[in-house]
Amino acid sequence: MSRSAAEITGRTHDGGAVAARGLTVVRRRVPVLRELDFAIPAGQITGLLGPSGSGKTTLMRAIVGVQRVTSGSVRVLGLPAGSSALRHQVGYVTQSPSVYPDLTVEGNVRYFGAMHRQGAAEAAEAIAAVGLEPQARQKTADLSGGQLSRVSLACALVARPRLLVLDEPTVGLDPVLRADLWGRFRAMAAQGTTLLVSSHVMEEASHCESLLLLREGRLLAQLTPAELSRRGHSADLEKAFLHIIQEAGEERGPAAEDRAAQDGSVR
């Protein structure tokens, strides 16, 4: 019997916004996600961390319901991921900004808002939330990279989702903006929104209440930043993560690979 994520974080499945069981994705015969079991608590910021290529985006896509799943299941807010009832409640911001460059900022946010029956007021609010009011009437193509990703974020915020899935939202942002965004995420979580934020920068882990550590499609651990630095024997989360990866590698070895995949967690 594998130790479930809920036991690790000391939470029950009941309060979870997302619950995955045996989630496996194989793409062109290459396993991308292997037997993931975890629960994401509601109303918190959960960080999804791991090196590039570890399956973060695929996992997010599975939660949002756009990824074909090979086996296992993901339930989101009590429903199977991708259910049509979830489309009003789950927001997804892809890694590269998916907005229309030939529309104004306002045009973009209003269009995605219209898909959720939100009007001009909600669009203006979402634009203000990402600090783009001065650029609202500018063509999106004329904005900087960081501004572009904030437009993309605003297009998700306008729907006021209960679960917001953000794929590397802070890449390419300057430190001031990054701090600003994390502040914004915390405020949203305080209001009850569940956030799942991926990053390959370990520093960002400290902003999260719970962390999912992913490596080569396996869940290394689910823990809090404090637990991470304790288990990794370092206050530097980057070093702590590397330590845990090393440990997992030693423990697993080639013969024990299957057991580790089953286990999905680090002791």
> Which CB, 8 or 157, lies closer to other proteins?
157
> Which CB, 107 or 146, lies closer to other proteins?
107
The DSSP symbol for 136 reads: T
Spatial contact of 209 and 45, defined as CB atoms under 8 Å apart:
yes
> Which CB, 67 or 193, lies closer to other proteins?
67
In the complex, minimum distance from the CB of residue 103 to other proteins, in angstroms, rounded to a whole number: 6
In the complex, minimum distance from the CB of residue 241 to other proteins, in angstroms, rounded to a whole number: 29
In the complex, minimum distance from the CB of residue 116 to other proteins, in angstroms, rounded to a whole number: 6
Q: Which of 40, 17, 19, 87 is nearest to 212 (CA)?
A: 40
Q: How far is CA 15 from the centre of its chain?
A: 18
Spatial contact of 57 and 96, defined as CB atoms under 8 Å apart:
no
In the complex, minimum distance from the CB of residue 183 to other proteins, in angstroms, rounded to a whole number: 25
Amino acid letter for position 180: D
| CA end-to-end span of the chain | 14
In the complex, minimum distance from the CB of residue 141 to other proteins, in angstroms, rounded to a whole number: 9
> Which CB, 10 or 117, lies closer to other proteins?
117
As a whole number of angstroms, the distance between CA 200 and CA 169 comes to 11
In the complex, minimum distance from the CB of residue 218 to other proteins, in angstroms, rounded to a whole number: 20
Q: Which of 125, 129, 119, 155 is nearest to 140 (CA)?
A: 155
Q: Mapping DSSP to helix (H, G, I), strand (E, B) and coil, where does residue 123 land?
A: helix
Other Cβ atoms within 10 Å of 239 Cβ, number: 14
> Which CB, 64 or 211, lies closer to other proteins?
64
> Which CB, 38 or 92, lies closer to other proteins?
92
Residues that bind other proteins (CB under 8 A): 27-28, 64-68, 82, 84, 87-88, 90, 92, 94, 96, 98-103, 107, 111-112, 114-117, 139, 155, 159
